[in-house]
Structure 1
Amino acid sequence: MMKFSYLLAILLVVLSACTEETQKPNIIFLFADDQTFSTIGELGNSEVITPTLDKMVAGGVTFTHTYNMGAWNGAVCAASRAMLNTGRSVWRAYQLEGNQDEAAERGEFWSQLLQKAGYETYMTGKWHVKTHPDKLFEHVTHVRPGMPKDFWSQRTKDSMPHGYNRPQSKQDTTWLPWDINNGGFWEGGKHWSEVLADDAVSYINEAKTKDAPFFMYLAFNAPHDPRQSPKEFVEMYQPENLSVPQNFLPEYPYKDSIGCGPGLRDAALLPFPRTNYAVQVQKQEYFALITHLDQQIARILKALEESGEMDNTYIFYSADNGMSIGEHGLAGKQDMYENSMRVPLIVIGPDVPKNKRKDVDVYLQDIMATTLDLAGVDKPEYVEFNSLMPFVKNEREESFYPAIYGCYKHHMQRMIRKDGFKLIVYPHGKVMRLFDVNTDPLEMTDLADNPEFAEKKQQLFNDLLALQKEMDDPLDLEILFN
């Protein structure tokens, strides 16, 4: 009898452990590429068509002030993804860049931490991180590069590559987003956003037959350029019906000294000088890509619902960085303005409140730490970001970050956003720009030379110097501005 009771106790412990394992929530990460924060209908943009993202906003918590820290090179998305997958802030992610394989051998990447916690890990789509995903995920389908095709390599001294520096006029029809002969997103015969949705649906149908919880890393290339989508989506928008940004400029006065001149690929998407019509056409193609992406997300969510796993799954939606299309005369994401640094972030899940907005300042890389929290993983010391769940559960209101930090390249741009103000610093030419982002969200009134704000400017500059030290920032601004 004693022996039977002992065996029964062991069996109950084993069954309890198994039950605990299967009760861990699934996690799906949906990642857009170059989507700015203001491109979701439910969040106030009446021009863009996003029914699926609108439903996600209504069904969960949206963080309205979510930032990327910036980048050490023009490929902002690469730095963003390195931070996200390694848990390091921007300059420590840069320091790790050449040693990512060693970090992978130590099991320090996001997917590896979840795999140790019992998760089956899956990845498809854009990667743009140096260590190959085959080393980090158990299942990998498609691995897409930074952009579908290096159109920029076609540039010559006398001409721009196809798809750039356009449209020059209303008669300029040299680029058709639905022309599959241009390759890009159409390489392989099916749009890459549709391929990714196919991959995701297939894996969900496979995963529902297994006991282990799953982590899906689904990284779209859209709405990154080249701006290609099916004709029906492009025709949902007409350029003349799309607004030109209030903070539009034909040319940004500091574009060359901050690395955003004609030699930057993103900057060359629009012609120089910028025109109202070119901005409207680019918005048409950008919004079309987002609406097409939205439809693919609907397919993924439908498959999840039909699998019976929706009620045990947390879904995160965000983008690697924002995008400017004419704001301040800029095109791209290599600047410190809100359009470039700020992204959408939506969380839905079993116990997530519905239709809530959180205006607390967070980083998009906090998603990584949040999933560790949900999976019951103790956050390693090297992970510098924080779980969003205290905000989701209304257990915390104050940001983990006294200030938001931003940078572009080692020597080009620095930024601090704190207490409703933003200070942008351009080392070349010793230029500072100061904005009251609470009263001036479009960052149109520069207060840097206003004597009334001299103390605020100096205070923010001192705070930025302190942040630089905290971030291992290699640029010595103090010497440059003394």
Structure 2
Amino acid sequence: MSNAEITLHRSGIRARMSVPLIRAFLVCLIGLSVSQACFADDETKPNILFLFADDLAYNCVANGGNDQVITPNLDELARRGTSFTHCYNMGGWNGAVCQASRAMLNTGRFLWNAHALEGSIRKTELPEKRLWAQRLESAGYDTYFTGKWHVSASADSVFGTARNVRGGMPEQTPQGYIRPLSPEDKVWQPWDKKFGGFWEGGKHWSEVVADDAELFFESAGQSDNPFFMYIAFNAAHDPRQAPKEFVDMYPFEEIEIPQPFYEEYPYQIGSNYVRDEKLAPFPRTKYSVQINRQEYYAIITHMDREIGRVLKALEDSGKADNTYIFFTADHGLAAGHHGLMGKQNMHDHSMRVPFTVVGPDIPESKKIDSSIYLQDVVPTTFEIAKMEKPDEVDFKSMLPLINGERERSYDSIYGAYIDFQRMIVDGDYKLIVYPKINKKQLFNLADDPLEENDLIDDPEQSVRIAMLTEKLEALQQEMNDPLAKK
């Protein structure tokens, strides 16, 4: 046989091909196998279901240690997956802390970087496709959204499908504030639909969100593409409304008073009298706090039921085995702790949220104590989608923590609220700074998780306070904090 020809044998068929033709044939075969591998990779990309609550503190679900709250579906989700016990939001640049949280979530940027970018979102709607869902869409995902958005770009421009897009909060009524004044104060009731709010339109908004999710799964079942669903509940934000059957699950006299209980927060921190704080009377009474938490627990349990519907729809779709599920919230809520009702403070009840992930190869019933930010979900989904993390995304994937490849993502946790408060959590200790009143607080979170015992005047802590102050100032530089010392 000459060097110019090769005889091929295949299933008894003989063919003679020249060497150049063989080379071309092999190139085609290699190209075909590579394209088939890429196609197979696309077909096996996992789906992503992101379940997002509003105003939900880490300690107001059973998995967070609160055995008064009835959350069977979230409990089951935690059993099936891995939970992060110390998941933080960085804070906010105005009283609507949820706005900053969602801007960080959708841009992947740290607090002040997201604030700078928020202006360009508002002006240009980022045609460069730089928001979370847009990046996943570029990687081949069908994208769906329903519920609370609160980002400057329109949800319709960001997601392939968007339904029932809601604003920052359901409309509150005058009767919903400074209440209840006494046990006889029954003017406003959470199940009374005449006050609108979550009942506006005739059906509770949490139920509308679950309805939309069920429709999304029907649509996703007809597509060969992986899906990204961003299911955003307005619950458990005020007005904390739920059907009466859910309120009745929580007799107010059985509601535990959150600790520490103050009639009024002792420091003027620039947030004492924002809108959230006006939900309950001043000074705080134990009865008003019990009623507020009764209604808070009721709307959480109602949302849990609707989350159960979403999870069932996922199972019925046949796609559950190849779907990662993330559950978290945009920030926490005081709801009576420290004499506060809102989220405009640096205490853990307002800065920490529940966080659970379920999916292929995710360990079951596992808890990780390493501190993360809730927005770490963004680069985590990029890793799941086999995408390279964009350079401008500041947050970090949590998969290395889940897989045991690293012990922590951040040396310290940073927090801020406008120019009124700053925070650093470093190991077991938290330092809170109030720049406008030259006040600091120091807490040992390991010994004092409820932040009742301020150690700032303890002379034995002076070295620690100086060290944490220096670390916080360094973090402020890293975060492009407008209060950073230049």
> CA shift at 1:9, angstroms?
5.7
1: CA distance between counterparts of 2:480 and 2:32? Answer: 52
> CA shift at 1:13, angstroms?
4.1
2: CA distance between counterparts of 1:57 and 1:124? Answer: 23
Is the Cα–Cα contact under 8 Å of residues 240 and 295 in structure 2 kept in the other structure? yes
Q: Is structure 2 residue 321 aligned with structure 1 residue 300?
A: no
Question: Alignment length, in residue pairs?
Answer: 464
2:217 to 181, 186, 204: 204
> CA shift at 1:282, angstroms?
0.6
Is the Cα–Cα contact under 8 Å of residues 28 and 315 in structure 1 kept in the other structure? yes
What residue is the counterpart of 2:483 in the other structure?
475
2: CA distance between counterparts of 1:387 and 1:12? Answer: 31
Specify the code of the residue in structure 2 equivalent to 1:464: L
Flag the structure with larger Rg.
Answer: 2
Q: Is structure 2 residue 31 aligned with structure 1 residue 21?
A: no
1:191 to 177, 184, 204: 204
1:124 to 127, 146, 161: 146
SS in 2 for 1:284: helix
Q: Is structure 2 residue 392 aligned with structure 1 residue 382?
A: yes
CA RMSD of aligned residues (A): 1.5
Is the Cα–Cα contact under 8 Å of residues 401 and 409 in structure 2 kept in the other structure? no
What residue is the counterpart of 1:314 in the other structure?
324
Q: Is structure 2 residue 253 aligned with structure 1 residue 240?
A: yes
> CA shift at 1:284, angstroms?
0.6
Q: Is structure 2 residue 91 aligned with structure 1 residue 67?
A: no
Is the Cα–Cα contact under 8 Å of residues 66 and 363 in structure 1 kept in the other structure? yes
2:361 to 351, 369, 375: 351
What residue is the counterpart of 1:37 in the other structure?
58
Specify the code of the residue in structure 2 equivalent to 1:245: P
TM-score normalised per structure 1: 0.94
Is the Cα–Cα contact under 8 Å of residues 30 and 316 in structure 1 kept in the other structure? yes
What residue is the counterpart of 2:351 in the other structure?
341
Specify the code of the residue in structure 1 equivalent to 2:271: C
What residue is the counterpart of 1:92 in the other structure?
113
What residue is the counterpart of 1:445 in the other structure?
453
Which runs of 5 or more structure 1 residues have no equivalent in the other structure? 152-160
Task: Output one character per residue of 1:134-160: Cα deviation in whole Å (capped at 9) or x when no partner.
Answer: 111111111100001154xxxxxxxxx
What residue is the counterpart of 2:382 in the other structure?
372
What residue is the counterpart of 2:155 in the other structure?
133
1: CA distance between counterparts of 2:480 and 2:63? Answer: 38
Which runs of 5 or more structure 2 residues have no equivalent in the other structure? 1-14
What residue is the counterpart of 1:277 in the other structure?
287
> CA shift at 1:325, angstroms?
1.4
Specify the code of the residue in structure 2 equivalent to 1:310: A
SS in 2 for 1:360: coil
> CA shift at 1:18, angstroms?
2.1
1: CA distance between counterparts of 2:30 and 2:444? Answer: 64
> CA shift at 1:44, angstroms?
2.0
2: CA distance between counterparts of 1:9 and 1:451? Answer: 72
2: CA distance between counterparts of 1:173 and 1:270? Answer: 14
Is the Cα–Cα contact under 8 Å of residues 104 and 135 in structure 1 kept in the other structure? no
Specify the code of the residue in structure 1 equivalent to 2:468: L
Is the Cα–Cα contact under 8 Å of residues 241 and 295 in structure 2 kept in the other structure? yes
What residue is the counterpart of 2:10 in the other structure?
none
Is the Cα–Cα contact under 8 Å of residues 421 and 434 in structure 2 kept in the other structure? yes
What residue is the counterpart of 2:404 in the other structure?
394
> CA shift at 1:287, angstroms?
0.5
1: CA distance between counterparts of 2:230 and 2:344? Answer: 25
The 5-angstrom pairing of residues 451-462 of structure 1 reads: 451-462=459-470
> Identity of paired residues, percent?
52
Task: Output one character per residue of 1:411-448: Cα deviation in whole Å (capped at 9) or x when no partner.
Answer: 21111110211111111220011111111101011111
Is the Cα–Cα contact under 8 Å of residues 104 and 136 in structure 1 kept in the other structure? no
What residue is the counterpart of 1:417 in the other structure?
425
> CA shift at 1:246, angstroms?
2.3
> CA shift at 1:453, angstroms?
0.5
What residue is the counterpart of 1:158 in the other structure?
none
Is the Cα–Cα contact under 8 Å of residues 77 and 356 in structure 2 kept in the other structure? yes
Is the Cα–Cα contact under 8 Å of residues 64 and 354 in structure 2 kept in the other structure? no
1: CA distance between counterparts of 2:35 and 2:468? Answer: 56
SS in 2 for 1:444: coil
Is the Cα–Cα contact under 8 Å of residues 144 and 229 in structure 2 kept in the other structure? yes
Q: Is structure 2 residue 313 aligned with structure 1 residue 291?
A: no
Task: Output one character per residue of 1:30-58: Cα deviation in whole Å (capped at 9) or x when no partner.
Answer: 00000000112133211000000000111
Q: Is structure 2 residue 268 aligned with structure 1 residue 260?
A: no
> CA shift at 1:174, angstroms?
1.2
SS in 2 for 1:236: coil
